[in-house]
Amino acid sequence: MNNYLSLSPEVKQALEQGKPVVALESTIISHGMPYPQNVETALRVEQTIRENGAVPATIAIIGGKLKAGCTPEEIEYLGKKGQAITKASRRDLPVLIARGEDGATTVTTTMIIAAMAGIKVFATGGIGGVHRGAEKTMDISADLEELAQTPVMVICAGAKSILDLGLTLEYLETKGVPVIGYGTEELPAFYTRHSGFKVDYRIDTPEELAAAFKAKIDMGLKGGMLVTNPIPEEYSMPADVINKAIDTAIAESVKAGIHGKETTPFLLAKVKELTGGDSLVSNIQLVLNNARLAAKTASALAK
């Protein structure tokens, strides 16, 4: 494994000393936001994690190496190269590694590499899930399968609101993945705090989140845990505004023949355009909010 996995000195030391570490994905840098906001946000997220008592580990594939802990220069590289970097899911890892290429890690591959490194907590924006119209397209994110098998706690602002949230919850239930609402009984929907769907359990403190995840690990139950943390009230977008933008974006993606791994970046970019950039502001704030909670939870788990 050492031939493939590369830990930064800071992350390696933190893990050896039992200090709290939080994994971060890199698709949000290369495919989720435009340059330079993507790099600025990534560095702010890392700083937020440090301010809340943990060590950040931005995860990516660079030159065929699975990196847990990127330097500011590597984050700049990912941000500038942007969508020219492969959006890497589980299926892409063997070929990218064998060819010595770069890859921006999705929720799926960030979980895989975090688990290899021994990192138990991961903060992201939103997870993928069952896409609208999946009964015809079978478009279901690999994130859900990874949550079912890889022992990492994923802290997010819910499933991306471009998805079919009801079917996403049904899928997670079938796979035995606990869906926790942090301070809420309602599933947040990324840009907005409200979806109309209920989570499995409400938990109100990082300490209780850590205790629940520790119990899962101690019992040998496979898979992860999904913690949905609502976007702060002042940055939450009205559900009707965001849903109208999403419906328009989906119609345009169908007309343009967009499918597969191109779907989510296309829809997020179109929603940003339709909302006059408000969705990008919301996106940045929800990621920072998740980073704070992840750092506090990782600290509680380390104790």
Q: What pLDDT, in 10s, does the model give residues 137-175?
A: 788 999 999 999 999 999 999 987 778 899 999 999 999
Query: By CB neighbour count within 10 A (0-12 exposed, 13-18 middle, 19+ buried), where does 266 fall?
Result: middle
Q: Residue 55 sits in which domain range?
A: 5-302
User: Given this model, what pLDDT does residue 194 score?
Assistant: 86
pLDDT tens string, the chain, 303 residues long: the values are: 578 999 999 999 999 999 999 999 999 999 988 899 999 999 999 999 999 999 999 999 999 999 999 999 999 999 999 999 999 999 999 999 999 999 999 999 999 999 999 999 999 999 999 987 777 778 899 999 999 999 999 999 998 777 889 999 999 999 999 999 999 999 998 888 988 899 999 999 999 999 999 999 999 999 999 999 999 999 988 877 877 887 888 788 878 888 776 777 787 777 777 776 667 788 899 999 999 999 999 999 999
CATH number, domain at 263?
A: 3.40.1790.10
For residue range 229-247, list pLDDT tens digits in order. Answer: 999 999 988 877 877 887 8
Active site residue 160: yes
User: CA end-to-end span of the chain, whole Å?
Assistant: 28
Query: By CB neighbour count within 10 A (0-12 exposed, 13-18 middle, 19+ buried), where does 224 fall?
Result: buried
User: Given this model, what pLDDT does residue 92 score?
Assistant: 97
> How many structural domains is the chain composed of?
1
Q: Which of 120, 160, 261, 272 is catalytic?
A: 160
Give the separation between CA 154 and CA 292, rounded to whole angstroms. Answer: 13
User: Given this model, what pLDDT does residue 112 score?
Assistant: 98
Note whether 155 and 293 are within 8 A (CB).
yes
User: Given this model, what pLDDT does residue 123 score?
Assistant: 98
Q: Which of 25, 46, 74, 146 is catalytic?
A: 25
Note whether 102 and 62 are within 8 A (CB).
yes
Encoded amino acid at 5, one letter? L
User: Given this model, what pLDDT does residue 277 score?
Assistant: 66
Give the separation between CA 24 and CA 122, rounded to whole angstroms. Answer: 6
